Chain A
Amino acid sequence: MGPVEVVFLVVIAIFGAIGVVRGWQRELGVTTMLLLALFMIEFVLTTAIGTRVESFLSGANVSDAQIVTLQSMAAVGLLLLVTFISYQGLGLVYPGTGKSSFLSLMIGLLNGYLFAGSIWYYLDRANWPLVNVTPEFTSFYKFFVQILPPEIFGWQFFILLAVAMLIIRVIR
């Protein structure tokens, strides 16, 4: 297993630890924000909006590889920004009593999967810009890269899940 996988798996583990410390009520708020961010990214990249942006950039003599890199860097930037705001700034907190460390760990790991998994996906899609990663990937990498969030879920999944969470939060 190469260092790229290790780095992302360690980041997911760190998110799990953060989840235990913060509690699942706060972690669910981060999950909602990450789902909304992923919806925005995927919606822009995969619908007519993305096609228009691509044709505009092609018209400005930007190559296909550069377009993919630009899209990926924008996606990674947005994810980093949203995650930073969710953890550092004012965040959505879900109601609930009790402190279940296991549940907090699970939600924390899920946040890690959504965050690190998506960044992994976009960097892989752009052939790892700015970092020196050799393309001879391991079988684990080849497997895991196929089950990353943006790879297996469409924008419909992200928005429906985020809206469902918010509706359930409001209905008593």
Chain B
Amino acid sequence: MFAAILLLATTMAIFGVLGYLKGPKWAFISLLILSVAFVLVEYRPDTIVLALNGIYTGVMLVLNGGLGALASGDFEAVQEVYSEIDPLFTDQNENLALLLVIFSAVALGLILAAVMKSKPAVFGMIWGLAYGYLLSAAVLPLISSNPAATIPVPLLRPNEREAGAAAAQASSGLNQLFTTLAEPQNVQIIASIIGIFIIVLLLLTVRSGVKSGAKKKG
């Protein structure tokens, strides 16, 4: 779960910055594209798998000479070629098909980012942060079997998924880790580390900043 939070925070930070740099227009259009992909993945996963398998089968049929057999009216040969083609996505790997749709939407957004020109704006960052959140909400349940990784998305994902035995099993290790960390002697050590880190980070940053500023003036 900690990895999920880290992924969520990183994605939001990246797209927040990208949204700021590319402007609100790009960020909003990309968010709309991703929302459509998200709704399709959430509500029509079977249709997506069926469509992608259909496209794959059609392409393989053409590549294996099925189109020639079809043109000559040899339907038995077409049937033979067709029966040799295994579907690309099955129940075991249907999450890959859904990830493909999500990443296609992201790729489309990134292509738009390269094409569109706009000025940096704070509103872009807000849309970008929303984009990062939605992207994490779409991807996390597909790459993690832990139902606890399902992030709430109002309106787009109304039904909360039930936490099952798998979630309990996966989170028990982390629970143990945090319980150990929460012991007083460990907290004391962690607090000391945080304190030293903050002091060193701030004072060194200020000092180096003052030095570089003085050099520039000098």
Contacts and interface: CB of A to CB of B under 8 A. Distances in A.
Given A140-B178, A165-B203, A147 B191 contact: yes
B9 A142 contact: no
Contacts of A12: 9
Contacts of A95: 209-210, 212-214
**Which secondary structure characterizes the binding site on chain B?**
helix
Contact of B12 (A13, A139, A147): A13
Given A17-B12, A161-B202, A3 B194 contact: no
Contacts of A171: 210
Nearest to A151: B191
B212 A97 contact: yes
Contacts, number: 125
Interface in B186-218: 187, 190-191, 194-195, 198-199, 201-203, 205-210, 212-216
A12 B10 CA distance: 11
Which range holds the interface residue count of chain A? Answer: 35 or more
A30 to B, nearest CB: 12
A52 B216 CA distance: 51
B181 interface: yes
Given A139-B175, A139-B178, A139-B182, A146 B187 contact: yes
Given A3-B152, A153-B195, A17 B205 contact: no
B174 A31 contact: no
Given A24-B209, A107-B205, 14 more contacts: A9-B9, A12-B9, A14-B16, A17-B129, A24-B205, A95-B214, A96-B210, A110-B202, A138-B178, A142-B182, A152-B187, A168-B207, A168-B210, A172-B214
Interface in B57-82: none
A20 interface: yes
A17 B19 CA distance: 11
B205 A14 contact: no
A161 B199 contact: yes
A13 B213 contact: no
Nearest to A170: B210
Given A1-B1, A13-B9, A96-B212, A106 B179 contact: no
Interface in B115-153: 125, 129, 133, 148, 151-152
B38 interface: no
B209 A96 contact: yes
A157 B195 CA distance: 9
A53 interface: no
Interface in B1-18: 1-2, 5, 8-10, 12-13, 16-17
B28 interface: no
A14 B132 CA distance: 11
B20 interface: yes
Contact of B213 (A1, A96, A152): A96
A142 B174 CA distance: 13
